[in-house]
Amino acid sequence: MTMAPTMQTTTAPTTAGNDARIDAIDKVMGRTAYAADRLPPRLAHAMPVTATIGKGTILSIDVAAASRVRGVLLILTHETMDRLAPPRFLFAGGHASQSHAVLQSNAVAYRGQMVALVVAETLEAATEAAARVVVRYDKAPFTVRMDDAGAERVGQARAFGLPAMADKVVGDADAALRAAGLVMVDRRYGTPPQHQNPIELIGTVAQWEDGRLTVHEPTQAAEAVRQGLAAQFGIDAAAVRVVSPSIGGGFGQKNALLPHTAVVAAAARRLGRPVKLVVPRAQAFHAASFRPASVHRVRIGAARDGRMVAAVHETESQTSRFDLMPALGTEITARMYGIPNFRGHEALVRLDTQTPGFMRAPYEMAASFAFESAVDELAYRLAMDPVALRVLNDTQRDPVSGKPFSSRHLVECLRRGAARFDWARRSPVPRSMRAADGSLLGLGVAAGAYKAATAPALARLRLEPDGSVAVSVGGHEMGQGIRTAIALTVSSVLGVAPARVQVALGDTTAPPQHLTAGSWGTATVVPAVQQAAAEVRTQLIALATGTPRAALHGVAVERIVLADGALGVAGGPSVPIEAVLRDAHRTHVDSEVRRLAPGQVDQAMERAMRGLPAAAGPEYPDFVAMSYAAHFAEVHVNPRTGKVRVVRAVGVFDCGRVASPRTARSQAYGGMIWGIGAALSEASEVDPAVGGFLNADIAEYMVPVNADVGALEVDFIDKPDFRLNAAGVKGLGEVASVGAAAAIANAVFHATGQRFTRLPIRPDDVVAP
Ligand code: MOS
């Protein structure tokens, strides 16, 4: 075993132009096995019963009628459920999406909370019986909107007392904003709660054998689910295995231990049979996390020449009554521009819902909408081009820490995007452009940034005589393409076809299966796998050249090329790997690489082994690392109906070296489409009279469909960041959507002359006088 040094090299494998997606055929053929595809013998099926009140206590649960449904095996309520240790919330040192446990007391903390679980021989029986469970409640007052009485406001910095949660303070922004002669913007913005809605629903297949629990569950954090379940059941983590090799979309919904999992596991233990639960879409709106509602006040002051002198960004973000889910939006807005005076402040507002959590670019989507809308408004006040204003305020040094950025190509993103989008055709005056069909035409731009984080990784790689490779590492494939990025990396170092690389992910038999989130997946696994492959390559070449009997004895190591399962010399002899290993009396060559983020110590790996978040970044000892985006959008607005169409969008991204071109492109498309949803349609509706979220399905929670998405164009700067890691990769998943909604909102302003400060922007907002 070797510890990867943080020493940087200036070479990286080149995967450019390799358009493989190694799991594509399996997916379109329906061969990819998802958790709910597990159908072990004697499988029983579960269906939850959920609370129909906004808050209160359960007076009684009558299961008599439900029990009479043929095939019902078990009904768990708070009276009959095993007493488990309480789950510990992610931000309180635990593994769980929230601290409030279901079926452990008669407390109903929010509408939609699970209050019973019916298990039956068939899903139909479980569903019918669940509908016959009669629950009587004692209702209590509740609050689900941030501006209603009963909302409880908490300052984040003081509540946590941790540097990462502190206000972002550079210079004295409040004083600087009072200076005379500044061009000012002062606006409030609002974003609604939103839900992730991946195609694959959350769920669990749990099975006990000889006191050992196996859980198949789509999760971005297999190790956390394992450790959290072990803690809840009071058993050794070694007795729990969590398997999550392929996820049908995570987006943050699946990144912690969810409340339902322990209940399903308890049911399986009680019955001595495997139990499967797939949480129905409507229930999922209350069964996992969501993106909290947020409000922002942004103040920016700039000199007449456009230089931003000071900014204050204050946010409020909803949390639950029982947990403090932090918000970190000003982490990026403080670093977007070289503003010498900045103050970022976050507050949390306690409401009666499940604990909110992460949803793709969890805080950054809203923070960038607010801040980049304000920057756009500033450009109009200054009568400056919005691209030029952003370029003018660029910085190569992080204003918060004073450290250099590891790499930052935001200006290039903006310039390349402007050229590609033909930004020059824009007439600066709002409402001055028309589309061919007479609708108002608007062009908008916004920038985005997202931390380039890195987590500890342990990569194991084994090369077989037939040239195939098996690699395992801590990471989760949720459709973003991490498996392909790994295969391409191995391919480029060992000369094996990507399809011949078996990539094992998301299985706790290969720990640590650290949380894959925060766009740190690629920068976490690719450098570790790259090094593991390089070590195998070195060993193999040593075997091929090392002894007088070896086939390539005497050949200079640098001249040896690995390709197609053989070692060779350009224009010279070639020896199959199989022959090299046979001659050396070896059955295989393998390696194991432990890799930490720059500046991390062993403790980080220990945390990862315990299923705890252990990622570092954006601030590292010697630099700050972020990925960047420039978004351009063209909208057509029908002045009579108020309908906004995004007819074209261009996104240019700086994510370091692009490790996997095809899946990176897909990620970027996805992020831009999320921007369309956030800007124009997505909102989880709350009603103060009812509680919970009302439009809890994808018929009424409006995600963009094909007809909502115009032409999308994606481009990458593709410059490696060797300061961050030897593979030159940063991160992409979230930055792809940071600023995307702001670009659209800014385009709507350009089209209509109306500044919309609350998302989503709907036709009735646009037509209103
Ligand atoms: Mo992602 S929202 O960081 O799981």
| Position 243, amino acid | V
| Beta carbons within 10 angstroms of residue 534's beta carbon | 19
Could you tell me which residues come within 8 angstroms of residue 6 by beta carbon, excluding any fewer than 6 positions away?
A: 596, 598, 599
The dihedrals phi and psi of 456, each to the nearest 5 degrees, come to -65, 145
Determine the Cα angle at 532 with ends 529 and 538, to 5°.
140
pLDDT at 282: 94
Cβ of 250 less than 6 Å from ligand 1: yes
Q: By CB neighbour count within 10 A (0-12 exposed, 13-18 middle, 19+ buried), where does 581 fall?
A: buried
CB distance 368 to 745 below 8 Å: no
- Closest by Cα among 160, 205, 187 to 40: 205
**Ligand 1 atom with the shortest distance to the CA of 362:** 2
**Residues facing 169 on adjacent strands:** 343
**Ligand 1 atom with the shortest distance to the CA of 253:** 4
Question: What is the DSSP secondary structure assignment for residue 35, as one 8-state letter?
Answer: G
**Residues facing 300 on adjacent strands:** 185, 311
Cβ of 362 less than 6 Å from ligand 1: yes
**Distance between CA 229 and CA 213 in Å, rounded?**
9
Q: How far is the CA of 355 from the centre of ligand 1 (A)?
A: 15
**Distance between CA 567 and CA 578 in Å, rounded?**
10
Tokens of 66: 């439900």
Task: Among 195, 219, 360, say which to mutate for ligand 1: greatest number of ligand atoms within 8 Å of CB.
Answer: 360
**Ligand 1 atom with the shortest distance to the CA of 516:** 4
Q: How far is the CA of 615 from the centre of ligand 1 (A)?
A: 13
**Distance between CA 561 and CA 280 in Å, rounded?**
53
**Distance between CA 477 and CA 324 in Å, rounded?**
29
Q: How far is the CA of 517 from the centre of ligand 1 (A)?
A: 4
**244, 606, 655, 339 alpha-carbon torsion, rounded to 10°:** 130
**Ligand 1 atom with the shortest distance to the CA of 254:** 4
Place of tokens 């740190």: 520
Tokens of 756: 């919309």
- Closest by Cα among 713, 718, 740, 738 to 728: 718
**Ligand 1 atom with the shortest distance to the CA of 519:** 3
Residues of the chain with pLDDT under 70: 1-13, 769
Cβ of 358 less than 6 Å from ligand 1: yes
**Distance between CA 593 and CA 528 in Å, rounded?**
6
Q: How far is the CA of 516 from the centre of ligand 1 (A)?
A: 8
| Position 214, amino acid | T
CB distance 721 to 407 below 8 Å: yes
Q: How far is the CA of 69 from the centre of ligand 1 (A)?
A: 40
**Distance between CA 697 and CA 704 in Å, rounded?**
14
Helix (H) and strand (E) counts in the chain? 19, 28
> Residue 264 half-sphere exposure, CB side, CA atoms within 13 Å?
28
pLDDT at 769: 53
Summarised one tens digit per residue, pLDDT across range 13-57 is: 677 777 889 999 999 999 999 999 999 999 999 999 999 999 999
- Closest by Cα among 161, 143, 21 to 503: 21
Give kind and range of the element (H or E) at residue 636: strand 626-637
Whether residue 512 has a cis bond before it, omega within 30° of 0: yes
Q: Whose CA is nearest to atom 4 of ligand 1?
A: 252
**Ligand 1 atom with the shortest distance to the CA of 361:** 2
Give kind and range of the element (H or E) at residue 533: helix 521-545
- Closest by Cα among 752, 22, 16, 5 to 432: 752
pLDDT at 436: 96
**Ligand 1 atom with the shortest distance to the CA of 359:** 2
Across 198-254, the runs of DSSP E, i.e. the strands, are 203-209, 212-216, 240-243
Tokens of 454: 């890195």
Cβ of 255 less than 6 Å from ligand 1: yes
Q: How far is the CA of 254 from the centre of ligand 1 (A)?
A: 8
Could you tell me which residues come within 8 angstroms of residue 548 by beta carbon, excluding any fewer than 6 positions away?
A: none
Instruction: Please report, for residues 61, 180, 209, 585, the alpha-carbon distance to residue 544 in angstroms, rounded to integers and kept in the order given.
Output: 72, 74, 46, 12
Q: How far is the CA of 522 from the centre of ligand 1 (A)?
A: 13
Three-class DSSP labels, 159-190: HHCCHHHCCEEECCHHHHHCCCCCEEEEEEEE
**Ligand 1 atom with the shortest distance to the CA of 250:** 4
Q: How far is the CA of 284 from the centre of ligand 1 (A)?
A: 17
pLDDT at 11: 54
| Position 452, amino acid | A
Q: Is the pTM of this model over 0.85?
A: yes
Q: How far is the CA of 609 from the centre of ligand 1 (A)?
A: 20
- Closest by Cα among 182, 192, 444 to 296: 192
Q: How far is the CA of 93 from the centre of ligand 1 (A)?
A: 18
CB distance 225 to 250 below 8 Å: no
Cβ of 450 less than 6 Å from ligand 1: no
